[in-house]
Structure 1
Amino acid sequence: MSSLGASKKTSAREKESELLEREDFDAGPSNLDCIEPGLWLGNLTAATDNDVLELHHINHILTVDSCPLPRKITMLPGVKTKFLQVTDIPSEDLLSHFEHTSEFIRTGQEQGAVLVHCYFGVSRSATVVIAYIMKKYELSFEDAFERVKSRRRFVGPNPGFTSQLHLYETMKWQVDKANVQFRMYRLHVAATQVKKVKILPQNCMDVVKSDPSLITVKPEPLVYRCRKCRRIVASASNLLPHIPKERPSWTDKKWSTEDREAMMLCSETYFVEPLAWMSSVTQSLQGKIHCPKCKSKLGSFSWIMGCQCPCGSKISPAFYLVPSKVEWSNMVQNVQVTV
């Protein structure tokens, strides 16, 4: 073998040795606690311990971790597993999965017993269980947290997950995609992903709303049109509000709980959600927004830098239309007539 070939093999082995596998870590001894009948919260070791699973009659396992369970567990007869790939950092999105995880836990309880786990059973899995308890008993975050903590004393969702649970409470224990606070939250999640991969990933495409000019049975009565060609470019519901000199935050409950009609909202710039006709927003970090019909420049967007409104408010990410380039109208044009 040539020295070049030998060096390549050595390099390959070195790279393999740098890859971290589950065997490189130690989650400690099996550790799990019964939160309520049929619902257990624990660590990775418990989820991979056949004796523990049999002892507690666990036939459903929800993994909220960066790696899935080994095949020796996922292939066990009579055991159903669900894997949610999440790391324990505040910017991770668990909120969008609460409906699915709660349904899995509910089914697991009805059909036997369910174990929810992450690596240590402290943050990620605890967040999912707290959300389930909130929904099941219609409890506030604080009450649900105390209930779970009374059963497993060292639970502690990270600050990002705690904020998501507060928003879940605000939305009355459901994921309300029309809620302004939730829409701001999803844009925040998408912007974080765009900064990492320089493109809008497929799992964040929900932040791009449908083209408001499309024919529909129930079009919105108030729309914004290109001032030059009159093409509809946004609906009133696509606008994201802000207060002069104040940076809006998805964690601020006032966007969901207060009467926005009574708030002094800024209208110097129209900040909107990304829309399907804005073709470049899914492929670029920032750029100009042009009318899809007449190509007139209507505004700009930036996933990473954001934009400062003339009122002094900093918006990030930002997708804005310049008021002088668009006009509002309450003339319904894109209605589908049904017989």
Structure 2
Amino acid sequence: MDWNRKSWKKVDQGRLEREDFDAGPTNLDEIEPGLWIGNLTAATDLEELAKIHCNYILTVDSCPLPRNISLLPGIKTMFIQVTDMNKEDLLSHFESAFEFIEEARENGVVLVHCYFGVSRSSTIVIAYLMKKFKISYDEAFERAKSKRKFVSPNAGFESQLRLYEKMGFTIDKTFLHYRLFKLNVAAAKVMQVKILPIEHMDVVKDDPALITVKPDPLVYRCIKCRRVVACVSNLLPHVRGRRMSWKKLEPSDSQEFCTLIYFIEPIAWMKSAMHSEQGKLNCPKCNSKLGSFSWTMGCQCPCGSKVSPAFYLVPSKVEWSNFVKNVQAI
């Protein structure tokens, strides 16, 4: 096989699979007993896999392992499809990767690898160490780095690891910065394909007017027809004059939050927001203009704060209410 070129072949159901690659010589290091980080070459080196008694392989790459490896008897595999780009979402895979590594270490040896064994695989292993030992990102990084000099998550993955630490080594879907992170990931995809891909529809929240089980009693209504259009829990509060970013994790005094514009999460009634990069937000009942949205350009609040992506309601177009019926007619 020619190891000096890199190509892929298409297999069933349109999936891409590596055929040839050049990830350098076999390279792997043991981080904890039964937990190794390596490159793609190591993951396809049958002699080396046998030497370390590897029976689990976790692939974090753009393509899965060649079938001659993934179909080996006695080896269980997991594939996380992610490229080594700052805006890629690895955070959402931390929990499933942790469970896979835990199972692997209980039953044998696991190799976590990406292409070069530097960024993506290191990120997954650092997240595992953080959760396993309840340690900070910095501690987990140094722990892994002491065993493998190539450990180096890219800047985006490092920020995701720090967010994971802030959430207490779990995925808290109600955590403000996690919600902002997911919106930014979705926005990056919208920039590429011009619509919201179905795999990112989880950022679109349920229509509060149709929620019948434990509806949020604190809502915003269209001031013209009084149709419920958002819950207080949909708000994305911003600090006056400060750019809203999921990477800025320092706490803010709630008294500093601006109310000149209500930035919110995308909600199911915002049909145009799922098929366009930007546009108006009209009341789904009376069609009055309530605000606007932009996945790509964002919006600057009169207070000076820049928010991107942005979905906002103009305060003069809505009213706050502390009472909501279980079901409202549209």
TM-score range, shorter chain: over 0.9
AA in 1 matched with 2:125? V
Identical columns (%): 65
Residues 25 and 70 of structure 1, relative CA distance in 2, 3 Å threshold: closer
Partner-residue secondary structure (3-state), 2:162: helix
AA in 1 matched with 2:299? C
Deviation at 1:335, TM superposition (A): 7.0
- In the alignment, which of 44, 58, 61 is matched to residue 57 of structure 2? 61
User: Is it true that 1:20 corresponds to 2:12 in the alignment?
Assistant: no
- In the alignment, which of 274, 298, 302 is matched to residue 294 of structure 2? 302
Query: Residue 218 of structure 1 contacts residue 335 of structure 1 at CA under 8 Å; is this kept in 2?
Result: no
Corresponding position of 1:264: 256
Corresponding position of 1:240: 236
Query: Residue 180 of structure 2 contacts residue 246 of structure 2 at CA under 8 Å; is this kept in 1?
Result: yes
User: Is it true that 1:282 corresponds to 2:268 in the alignment?
Assistant: no
CA separation in 2, counterparts of 1:52 and 1:279?
53
TM-score (norm 1): 0.90
Moved over 4 A (4+): none
Residues 74 and 135 of structure 1, relative CA distance in 2, 3 Å threshold: same
RMSD over aligned CA atoms reads 1.6
TM-score (norm 2): 0.92
Residues 312 and 332 of structure 1, relative CA distance in 2, 3 Å threshold: same
Q: Deviations over 1:141-194 (max 9, x none)?
A: 000001011111121001000000000000000011000010011111111110
- In the alignment, which of 100, 103, 110 is matched to residue 106 of structure 2? 110
Partner-residue secondary structure (3-state), 1:119: coil
Deviation at 1:23, TM superposition (A): 5.4
- In the alignment, which of 115, 126, 129 is matched to residue 122 of structure 2? 126
CA separation in 1, counterparts of 2:45 and 2:38?
11
- In the alignment, which of 199, 214, 221 is matched to residue 217 of structure 2? 221
Corresponding position of 2:142: 146
CA separation in 1, counterparts of 2:19 and 2:97?
27
Greater helix content: 1
CA separation in 2, counterparts of 1:132 and 1:19?
30
AA in 1 matched with 2:200? C
Larger radius of gyration: 1
CA separation in 2, counterparts of 1:300 and 1:37?
53
Deviation at 1:25, TM superposition (A): 3.5
Deviates more, 1:316-325 or 1:19-28: 19-28
Deviation at 1:57, TM superposition (A): 1.1
Query: Residue 224 of structure 2 contacts residue 288 of structure 2 at CA under 8 Å; is this kept in 1?
Result: yes
Partner-residue secondary structure (3-state), 2:229: strand
Partner-residue secondary structure (3-state), 2:7: coil
Partner-residue secondary structure (3-state), 2:206: coil
AA in 2 matched with 1:299? G
Deviates more, 1:209-218 or 1:40-49: 209-218
AA in 2 matched with 1:300? S
Q: Deviations over 1:7-55 (max 9, x none)?
A: xxxxxxxxxxx98334553111111111111111101011001111111
